[in-house]
Amino acid sequence: MALYESEHTKFMREWMEKHPEESREQQKGRALWWDKPPQALDTMKEAEAARVPNKAYYYDAN
């Protein structure tokens, strides 16, 4: 453990000890915003086929 622990960290540790149900809520939130299900192989192939390559100089109008 580190030598220094901020007031916020201490508060969060105590809060999580008193409210263990919040851990499940954290997991639900993470699953909603960050955990993405794997895509099907055919969907990935379609996306790759539809991809348009970037120009060498992005701002060139020609």
1 in a domain, yes or no? no
pLDDT, tens digit (0-9, with 9 covering 90-100), for 5-54: 999 999 999 999 999 999 999 988 888 888 777 778 888 899 999 999 88
Which band of pLDDT confidence, cut at 50, 70 and 90, is reported for residue 1? low
32 in a domain, yes or no? yes
Helix ranges (H only) for the chain are 7-18, 21-33, 41-50
Would you list the DSSP string of 37-51?
PPPPHHHHHHHHHH-
61 in a domain, yes or no? no
Which pTM value belongs to this model?
Answer: 0.45
38 in a domain, yes or no? yes
Tracing tokens 């991809």 back to the chain, one arrives at 51
22 in a domain, yes or no? yes
Best CA proximity match to 26, nearest among 18, 14, 34: 34
Please tell me the predicted confidence (pLDDT) of residue 29: 86
Select the more confidently predicted residue: 62 or 16.
Answer: 16
Residue 46 structural domain: 7-50
CB 22, CB 16: distance < 8 Å:
yes
Structural domains of the chain, count: 1
